[in-house]
Amino acid sequence: MIRGCGVARPKLWDVDDELWALIEPLLPKVERRVRHPGRKWHPDRLVFQGILFVLHTGIAWEHLPQELGSAPAGEAAEKKGAAQVARRVGVEAMRPIDIVVCGSVAVNRSGARIGKGAGYSDLEVALLVEAGLVTESTVIVAPVHALQVVEDEIPETEHDFSVDYIVTPDEVLRCTDRRRPPGLVWNDLTAEKIAAIPVLAAQQRAW
């Protein structure tokens, strides 16, 4: 802040409306492809501010602050990076889902799976089923190593879901015994888990 007047000092890379009105007509107009459009583009004004920021500070592009663009692809692809970069939306803002790719410790040929034990995949699918976003048309896929495909029976409960396809480096296995949860099974949820997951707590309050 500038002392005495309470007005924030503009940053050297800020592009105000007056400057942008001069620059925008000079930029070429490029239409995104209808087929295979690729990643959604950042707004031209934001990209221009990012360029000015790099020119003024001398930093490398991969250190560009998130407010001037997304994180580096490698960082955004990681679990921690995705949580920081991705735009968070509630189920009410989502569209019906065509395919779910779920991590699994082991699967059998009937489609039963073992997750990591926390039950988050089951909760996500149950929430989406309840919201009408995971439907009979949704395909659930488990990409695993061939060694993770077991012949043993895997115990299942009401909240578990099965996968439709198992994909290994060598083959694609179709599972015909499809099972989906009816929605959230509240009797299987502890008060601690509900309190720890905001969307569950909100759902419970809405009841």
Do residues 136 and 183 both lie within one domain?
yes
Same domain, 128 and 179: yes
Q: What is the pTM of this model?
A: 0.59
Nearest to 127 by CA among 181, 178, 207: 181
* Domain-located, residue 82: no
Collapsing DSSP to helix, strand or coil, 72 comes out as coil
In the block, residue with structure tokens 């009408």: 132
Burial 139-177 (b: 16+ CB within 10 A, else e): ebbbbbeeebbeeeeeeeeebbbbbbbbebeeeebebee
Find the domain containing 163 and state its range: 96-206
Model pLDDT, residue 2? 37
Residues with Cβ within 8 Å of residue 47, at least 6 apart in sequence: 69
**Residues 128, 174 within the same domain:** yes
Q: How many domains does the chain have?
A: 2
Does residue 68 belong to any structural domain of this protein?
Answer: no
Residues 50 and 120 in one domain: no
Is 132 in the same domain as 178? yes
3-state SS class at 101 = strand
Flag whether 2 is in a domain: no
Instruction: Note the pLDDT tens digit of each residue in 93-122.
Output: 788 899 999 989 999 999 999 988 777 788
Shared-domain flag, residues 23 and 113: no
**Angle at which helices 120-130 and 198-206 pack, to 10 degrees?**
40
Give domain status of residue 45, yes or no.
Answer: yes
Q: Who wins on pLDDT, 165 or 201?
A: 165
Mark whether 100 and 201 lie in a shared domain. Answer: yes
For the stretch 122-167, pLDDT in tens is 888 888 888 889 988 999 999 999 999 999 998 888 888 999 999 9
44 part of a folded domain: yes
Closest CA to 186 of 111, 137, 127, 103: 127
